[in-house]
Structure 1
Amino acid sequence: MSKTIFQTEKREDFQSKIKKIRFNLFPAYRRSGGRVCFLSSDWKEIHIKIGLDWTTRNYVGSVFGGSIYAALDPIYMVQLINILGENYVVWDKSAQISFIKPVKKTVYARFLLSDDLLEEIKDKIEKEQKYIFDLKVCFEDENQTIYAEAIKTIYVADRKYYQQRKK
């Protein structure tokens, strides 16, 4: 069983465990040094971890900032794609990351999408066909010390609207 520091009511099932393994084996994600250690069966909660090893070590002996960012980069987008389904288009628009403390041990991040947020997204898209919003995530240790925090700007649109705009 993979370790995580976050308590949750959510559960993994057999299918989500297989998806977690496949996600971790995907070459672009695997090379980040990050690992998904929890994937809820409804995709609403994902925990990842990254630690210091020879593949993530930078010149000064801490985890490389690019590895920290790469480990968290695709998570919110992939969550939303899987939750919202094929009637929506989801893209990362931008990101801002702050490196607060050097990472020299394993740290964890929790990606949690609430039912209220998902309803807000659907309501906005129903009214305006697209919605751009920010989601925050932090890497922290078991003592809740924050090492890095990122704000991801996400674009979600109605698929038909998006396809018309592409023309």
Structure 2
Amino acid sequence: MYRFYRPAIVKFALNLWPPFWGAGIRIVRISEDFREVQIKLKLRWWNKNANRTQYGGSIFSLTDPVYALMLIGILGKEYYVWDKQAEIHFIKPGNTDLYADFLISEDLLSQILKATANGDKFFPEFVVQVKNTRGDVVSEVKRVLYVRKKPQYREVQDPDGEEALDEGHALS
């Protein structure tokens, strides 16, 4: 597949990106095939809440837009990939640095490719666990993405010319 960009460049850029940098979020590793990403959220005085634990917004932010960027890196320029929906479940206070490992399995990637080959929309769901330094789960974040092959790359052309940005899509 065509590589839209390289993992090292993405890592460098995201580590300088103000929303990540300011929140104390750091990309630790991106695999060469974009299938694995590891992220760290450093506990700093400016990202603590009133209870002196990790601010929930920072925990949520560390998961955005990771899966979308992973799929863009894997699928390349032939696909639209957008965050569509997300929810977070706080399990316990984050009173240390936090970590998250993002994985895209071969099975899920095969499902995505099969479901979108003719231009159909697909909404893969991902759940990532955010853990503290002891390995305890602090929160679980569910993300739903929108994936669709761009019209010019579809095996069957869409007679209506429908574009990817229909109702309710958020940009990441």
TM-score (norm 1): 0.83
Structure 1 position 116 matched with structure 2 position 107: yes
Match of 2:13 in 1: 22
Structure 1 position 53 matched with structure 2 position 50: no
Query: What is the total number of aligned residue pairs between the two structures?
Result: 152
Structure 1 position 105 matched with structure 2 position 96: yes
Which of 155, 159, 164 is matched with 2:161 structurally? 164
CA deviation profile, 1:103-162 (whole Å, cap 9, x unmatched): 01012100011122111100011256110121000111344310011000111001116x
Query: Counterparts of 1:19 and 1:132 in 2: how far apart (Å)?
Result: 24
Query: Counterparts of 2:20 and 2:134 in 1: how far apart (Å)?
Result: 26
Instruction: State, as a whole percentage, how many aligned pairs show the same letter.
Output: 34
- Give the Å deviation of 1:49: 0.9
Which of 84, 105, 112 is matched with 1:93 structurally? 84
In the alignment, structure 2 segments of 5+ residues that lack a partner are 1-5, 152-157, 166-172
- Secondary structure of 1:63's aligned partner: coil
Give RMSD over aligned pairs.
1.9
Which of 32, 53, 63 is matched with 2:23 structurally? 32
Runs of 4+ aligned structure 1 residues displaced above 6 Å come to none
Residue identity in the other structure for 2:16? L
Distance 1:18 1:128, change over 3 A: closer
Aligned runs of 1:70-149 on 2, under 5 Å?
Answer: 70-127=61-118, 129-149=120-140
CA deviation profile, 1:65-117 (whole Å, cap 9, x unmatched): 00110111110011011110111100111101011111010121000111221
Match of 1:153 in 2: 144
- Give the Å deviation of 1:20: 1.4
Query: Counterparts of 2:10 and 2:65 in 1: how far apart (Å)?
Result: 14
